[in-house]
Structure 1
Amino acid sequence: MNRFAASVSAAIARVTGSALGPYQSAVIRIGFSATWLLFLVREFPHRQELYGPDGPWDWDLAQQLIAGNHAFTVLMWSDAQGWFTAVYLFAVATAALLLLGWRTRTLSVLFMVGVLSLQNRSIFMGDGGDNVLHLMAIYLVFTRCGQVWSLDARRASRARDARARGEQVTDRVGPALWVVLGFVLVVATSGGLLDDTDPTVPVILYLVWLGVAVRWIVERRATGREPRILLDVITDIAHNGALLVIMAEACLIYATAGWYKIQGTRWQDGTAVYYPLHLDYFSPWPALADLFAGSGTVVMLVTYGTVIVQVAFPFTLFNRRVKNVLLALMMVEHAVIAVVLGLPFFSLAMIAADAVFLPTSFLRRLGGWAARARGAVHDRRGGRAAVPEPRSAEATVAANPPSTRT
């Protein structure tokens, strides 16, 4: 009993004492922001048909839909062409900045606003990848996704070095962002623009806005350590809880997809993969699709293999080696889907969701390879090549005191 109590106490201390999975949360941030950014850039010539006034889902239909489901979208604040263009460019900019990891606490919220505003305007224009991105954009708000591989991490490191040298570090950008975005939020609320919206998103916006203010006040005005420790515990619990929800969401997606496939007769007889390969909509490379569909053995193996992997994956989380094998198989499968069926953004979204299960050791090696490659480029250009290896998650948390956390 004492051993069990000690294990529970250690688990609670770990969950409340640090933000777990810094590399996994960074990969999720990079993956989903890159997916959304590439999609917006790719569809820029078609933006009017997808989300704008020229789309088949016109302004009146959108108003009727929003009146019924009360979804959040700033696109319904005005039907002006200039407003639509501004919102679209805003979504592009927030995705790019979140990808770089600049002010991730603020940009994760703005990224969510951009995703929800465009997708909720025309919910019938997307696919399964859009649903995944929709949910993950909300979950990202509660994570500390800029601990590593971000401009925030670089800024925090430089601030620590400056403090170690006895220099005073002043952040003017953060308070300026808080004031400007808070003004916009208050104006939107007082102007009634959020009255018909489901309260979930406005509550998240106000919680983050007020939370940032409380953090700023405590760090500069609190005399003892207790208020800082309390805020750190709340932040770490929110981060770790959001990371757990992301994992559960990925498992739920695969489990439900696998079990629904089992009920289908085409999946039972091993021929389900054959049919989408012969649809013009899903055949950007007809010759390649014919090559896959031409072998009955390949079709059967892929059909049954897909079901087995999707149903089994949630149970393999208890065995790290088996989990890593199935994780690699699923990522390869999504890469094949992206090429053969012409669904690159759906595949990128699913690969980004899968990345939450990647082992930390692999991600650290990946970061090391990237750092060495960047150093080699600097060498060739005559710049400095001294690029440090990324620190472990434990070292990152230990070297990142509460006053400098991103």
Structure 2
Amino acid sequence: MSQQRTTLEKDAAKKAAPEAPKTEDAAAPDASRSSTSAPGTPVAGFFAFLGSIIASAWMAFANTIGDSIAFVERWLFNGKKALYGIAVTRIVFGVIAIGLLASNFSTRLYTFGSGSAWNGEIAEPVSDFPKIWLFSAFHAVAANDVAFTLLYIALMLLAVLFMLGWRFRIVLPVFFVMWIGFIEMNDMVGDQGDNMFRIALILMFFTDAAARWSLDARRRAKREWFPEGSSPNQIGTVLHNLALVALTAQVAFVYGSGGLFKAQGAPWASGYAVYDPLQTMRFGTWPVLSDLITAWGPMVAIGTWGSILLQGAFLLALLSRPTRLIALFGILGFHIMIGVLMGLPWFSLTMIAIDSIFIRDRSWKRLSAGIARRWRAAVVRRPADVGGAG
């Protein structure tokens, strides 16, 4: 009996005892299965590093996109840009129109009117513009000398009002229509400056070109139609700035394509292309000056290759202040040389007028303040000198 009781106690103790832990050999397969995903292994570290690189690159890209959008939004909406520059464009364009009309007044009938009928454009214009009724005023009266002269004088008066910025929103469309109709009367006397003039006039419809240095600016100072921050004001700001972007793109196309076209020509690559036109009767308008400029070979090469580099790199050079100064002074000298040496003043002035938008407003204001200060000093000094002389 006692032996049976002892056996039962041993069985109960055996059941109640906890299971022995697995041996190292038994646990080895599980350990090997989990070793590849352990946090401290090289493979896991590599994937963690790669993930952090991708996340950082994505965050940098997203921040760049966000900053770019914010910059564009601020640039478009936070005020009209280049108001003084586009005002200079308006003024110089007016000077160009007045100068061209005045210099051709004595030969207006021979160049554009009834005297030019020999070229056949009165019967069948080369340009499509005179065939459009909106631009056909000059073509309709080309054979009538009196009517043509009256329209000619009216266009000169419009050019004066355009330059002064008087009722610009009304004057600009009328001036644009009449100017295009006039300038397309004789295709033989035009140049590429006419195309840029026309493109810039179209874009000026969307700019506030009379906001500075104009009669409209004086009137607007007394009464503003649309208050700051209003929807019409914001729309006008965006259209103005977008028109400047379009005008900048057009200038970039002209200079960039011009530089690339020159670079592929043998005379330009060889460095003597500047010499050729200055020795022709058509473009060598100042023979003595042309001979002086082209007498030294290295100067011809510098002018040839320099014009290619200047035109090709003009837009990129505007991105920083030091290079912008070099580009603007360089392009100014470039057009002055073309206007003087090659007898193309109106083309050169057109490009100079458009390039004025790349000069900052604060620079124009400093220039204006300096001129006004010297003018006041001269006016004050003059009566004193007259009184002293008496």
Of the candidates 52, 62, 67, which is equivalent to residue 125 of structure 2? 62
Deviation at 1:258, TM superposition (A): 0.4
Matching residue of 2:81: 20
Task: Give matches, 1:6-405, under 5 Å.
Answer: 8-9=69-70, 11-55=72-116, 56-57=118-119, 58-62=121-125, 72-79=135-142, 80-159=144-223, 229-380=230-381
Q: 1:21 to 1:302 in 2, by over 3 A?
A: same
Deviation at 1:256, TM superposition (A): 0.7
Does the 8 A contact of 1:271 with 1:303 survive in 2? yes
**Whole-angstrom CA distance in 1 between matches of 2:126 and 2:196:** 24
Does the 8 A contact of 2:83 with 2:212 survive in 1? yes
Deviation at 1:370, TM superposition (A): 2.5
Q: 1:107 to 1:67 in 2, by over 3 A?
A: closer
Does the 8 A contact of 1:147 with 1:153 survive in 2? yes
Deviation at 1:23, TM superposition (A): 0.9
**Which residue identity does 2:124 align to in structure 1?**
L
Q: 1:146 to 1:64 in 2, by over 3 A?
A: closer
**Which residue identity does 2:160 align to in structure 1?**
A
Identity of aligned residues (%): 30
Residue-by-residue CA offset, 1:105-136 (whole Å, 9 max, x unaligned): 22222221232111222233211222211211
CA RMSD across the alignment: 2.7
Which structure 1 segments of 5+ residues have no match?
Answer: 161-214, 220-224, 383-406
How many residues align structurally? 320
Deviation at 1:310, TM superposition (A): 0.6
Q: 1:370 to 1:341 in 2, by over 3 A?
A: same
**Whole-angstrom CA distance in 2 between matches of 1:64 and 1:26:** 30
Residue-by-residue CA offset, 1:260-317 (whole Å, 9 max, x unaligned): 0011111011110111111012122211111112111111110010111111112223
Deviation at 1:381, TM superposition (A): 6.6
| Range that drifts further, 240-249 or 83-92 | 83-92
Which structure 2 segments of 5+ residues have no match?
Answer: 1-61, 384-390
Calculate the TM-score normalised by the size of structure 1.
Answer: 0.72
Calculate the TM-score normalised by the size of structure 2.
Answer: 0.75
Secondary structure of the corresponding residue to residue 115 of structure 2: coil
Deviation at 1:157, TM superposition (A): 2.3
**Whole-angstrom CA distance in 2 between matches of 1:152 and 1:68:** 34
**Which residue identity does 1:252 align to in structure 2?**
F
